[in-house]
Structure 1
Amino acid sequence: MNLDLSTVTRWLQQPLFKVGETPVTPVTLASLALAVVLVLAIWWLAGALERLLLRAARRGAGAHADNPAHLARLHMVSRLARYTVWVLGTIVVLNYVGLDLSSVALVGGALAFGLGFGLQNVFSNFISGIIILLEGGLRVGDFVDLESGVRGHVREIAMRYTRVTTNDAIDVLVPNSEFINGRVINWTFDATYRRMRVPFGVAYGTPKEKVREAAIAAARTVEGVLDDAGHEPTAWLVSYGDSAVNYELVVWADRRLTTSPAGTHARLMWALDDALAERGIEIPFPQRDLHVKSGAIDVRLTNA
């Protein structure tokens, strides 16, 4: 069957349905195709606008261009601008092609339809992402420790997930709702330094002052450990173990150290081991005494 141009045109312009109160332009196949193209174009323009805002803001930031708090604000503003263009542009396009979204019943029905088909998690993560951006409790560049065990730097707060990069350069995509519903430790939220503790043990009989002197000397060899009024490194005696007296090396560390806790712990342990060995302080290992009571053992042999 051959179709001429006029037949195809009539077919594309054939009314399919109407949405909203009359008078409303009926929705046709052509208008639906136009809506898809325009919505995709608006989403692309929204992404381009976000990138343009970030570049322009960084160029105008000057000396603040590398400031983590400034970069976090830039990310929040540009991402919210992108979402605003998405939503408003999509509404305008759908109204233009005849989908009257002013009807509350339509919007409610669409949401109920989407949620009923398993989109509740997507919707929850999207709203959680907007809450995260607006509240400012979590920003790009922060070092976080999640209840699930994920620990690393926040690199991106997207529509559905937040990208966390660990110190092993592994990107973990965490659903936004996990930051709203779960426990989140933000190591870099406000203060630029944090207190860190390194447990260690020494042999019984070692003078306490000698142990503290070694611990403080070890801490002072690690760059980034604070040593001013109110933030001096020290050693705490915390418990008596089976084979050792247990201490903790307590230090205040700057942002660079607190955002790499495993590496910082290793550096402090290395310096502590050198300081203890230099002063002849023994690091004990578990020991057990075995007492054997004397007695007679009755051994009887039987023939099979």
Structure 2
Amino acid sequence: MAVIEQLQTWLSMPLLVLGDYTLRIAGVASAIGILVVSAIVQRGLSKASAAAAKRSGAHDQNVYIIQRVLKYIVYGVGLILALSALGVSFNNLMLVAGALGVGIGFGLQSIVNNFVCGIIILFEKSLRIGDFVELADGLLGEVREINIRSTLLRTLDNADIIVPNADFISSQVNNWTLNDDIRRFSISFSVAYGSDLEQVREAGLKAAEEVPITLKRENIMPDVLVTELGASGIECILTIWAQGEWVKRPGWVKSQYLTAIYNNLRTAEIEIPFPQMDVHMRS
């Protein structure tokens, strides 16, 4: 009994006194306990929702949205309960909310803006985990996480880039895999003037045949097009379609087709032109 009385005395000791408000050790311990329990509950709900979704066959993006919303709700409720355990009354919470409102007006608007944009991205489903996107500045990357303030992209160099959520709402974003994972690639190459264009076409289509990732369907077929009669040669493109993970590796895809095009042009003895310039000497 003496130990319990000593513990109660120790927990009731004040740590901070401000006017009518007294912060005690018991309140701090309770607040920490509530936050720890909130984290445990959040993890449990996340695992339970993932298991339930797996059994029902729900889409991964819907599962991700549910997990994120549950996380925000559990942590929000836990924070309110922790503040209550610290002795912060509802009136004081309103004062804090008013102070936060002033802070948002002066310096936190970007954080709130990113948070709201993150919620919009989650529910609008314009950006999903695993999507391959191209930003306005040309940055390419795969979406790995959509967090409260920012979205995590992993680039082709395996670098993690943190992009504010507001950038995806206010700027143009090219989502390569939004509705499907099929994309057309245009591989540019040149041939010399005087080349037989039918042979050029055959060499290009043969190159497409040799690369195993070439996708062929009724309305999706490889083709060779002449795009320009350039200064040094005839400019052509090989258009092919790829699907799946290959869409996320544009550099590798381009390298494979350029190699096949070069080998087939060389086999057909079709000349690849060098830059040319006519120089006239004046006496």
TM-score of the superposition, structure 1-length normalised? 0.79
Indicate the residue corresponding to 1:33 in structure 2.
Answer: 28
Indicate the residue corresponding to 1:216 in structure 2.
Answer: 205
Distance in 2, matches of 1:39 and 1:113, equals 28
Indicate the residue corresponding to 2:128 in structure 1.
Answer: 139
Q: What is the RMSD computed on CA atoms of the aligned residues?
A: 3.0
Match of 2:81 among 92, 98, 105: 92
Residue 293 in structure 1 maps to residue 261 in structure 2: no
Whichever of the two has the greater Rg, that structure is 1
How far does residue 78 in structure 1 lie from its aligned partner after superposition? 1.1
- Judging changes above 3 Å, is the alpha-carbon distance between structure 1 residues 17 and 280 closer, same or farther for their aligned structure 2 residues? farther
- Judging changes above 3 Å, is the alpha-carbon distance between structure 1 residues 101 and 46 closer, same or farther for their aligned structure 2 residues? farther
Indicate the residue corresponding to 1:163 in structure 2.
Answer: 152
Residue 176 in structure 1 maps to residue 165 in structure 2: yes
Indicate the residue corresponding to 1:300 in structure 2.
Answer: none
Distance in 1, matches of 2:221 and 2:7, equals 85
How far does residue 197 in structure 1 lie from its aligned partner after superposition? 0.7
Indicate the residue corresponding to 2:14 in structure 1.
Answer: 12
Stretch moving more, 97-106 or 87-96: 97-106
Stretch moving more, 26-35 or 176-185: 26-35
Indicate the residue corresponding to 1:299 in structure 2.
Answer: none
Distance in 2, matches of 1:210 and 1:97, equals 81
Residue 154 in structure 1 maps to residue 149 in structure 2: no
Stretch moving more, 35-44 or 282-291: 35-44
Matches within 5 A, 1:267-282: 267-282=256-271
Secondary structure of 1:287's match? coil
Distance in 1, matches of 2:239 and 2:16, equals 77
| One-letter amino acid matched to 2:173 | V
Question: Are the counterparts in 1 of residues 28 and 86 from structure 2 also a CA contact under 8 Å?
Answer: no
Secondary structure of 1:247's match? strand
- Judging changes above 3 Å, is the alpha-carbon distance between structure 1 residues 51 and 168 closer, same or farther for their aligned structure 2 residues? farther
Distance in 1, matches of 2:137 and 2:41, equals 33
- Judging changes above 3 Å, is the alpha-carbon distance between structure 1 residues 54 and 203 closer, same or farther for their aligned structure 2 residues? farther
Partner deviation per Cα, 1:203-245 (whole Å, 9 max, x = no partner): 1121222211111111122122112211110011111111011
Residue 49 in structure 1 maps to residue 51 in structure 2: no
How far does residue 71 in structure 1 lie from its aligned partner after superposition? 2.8
- Judging changes above 3 Å, is the alpha-carbon distance between structure 1 residues 53 and 171 closer, same or farther for their aligned structure 2 residues? farther
Question: Are the counterparts in 1 of residues 31 and 83 from structure 2 also a CA contact under 8 Å?
Answer: no
- Judging changes above 3 Å, is the alpha-carbon distance between structure 1 residues 121 and 35 closer, same or farther for their aligned structure 2 residues? farther
Question: Are the counterparts in 1 of residues 232 and 273 from structure 2 also a CA contact under 8 Å?
Answer: yes
Residue 60 in structure 1 maps to residue 55 in structure 2: yes
Indicate the residue corresponding to 2:216 in structure 1.
Answer: 227
How far does residue 72 in structure 1 lie from its aligned partner after superposition? 2.6
How far does residue 293 in structure 1 lie from its aligned partner after superposition? 2.9
Partner deviation per Cα, 1:22-75 (whole Å, 9 max, x = no partner): xxxx663446524641453255225523652465257637xx6xxxx9333322
TM-score of the superposition, structure 2-length normalised? 0.85
Question: Are the counterparts in 1 of residues 27 and 87 from structure 2 also a CA contact under 8 Å?
Answer: no
How far does residue 102 in structure 1 lie from its aligned partner after superposition? 7.2
Question: Are the counterparts in 1 of residues 184 and 242 from structure 2 also a CA contact under 8 Å?
Answer: yes
Secondary structure of 2:59's match? helix
Indicate the residue corresponding to 2:176 in structure 1.
Answer: 187
Q: What is the count of residue pairs matched by the alignment? A: 278
How far does residue 202 in structure 1 lie from its aligned partner after superposition? 0.7
- Judging changes above 3 Å, is the alpha-carbon distance between structure 1 residues 204 and 293 closer, same or farther for their aligned structure 2 residues? same
Secondary structure of 1:165's match? strand
Indicate the residue corresponding to 1:123 in structure 2.
Answer: 112
Secondary structure of 1:284's match? coil
- Judging changes above 3 Å, is the alpha-carbon distance between structure 1 residues 77 and 281 closer, same or farther for their aligned structure 2 residues? same
- Judging changes above 3 Å, is the alpha-carbon distance between structure 1 residues 100 and 7 closer, same or farther for their aligned structure 2 residues? closer
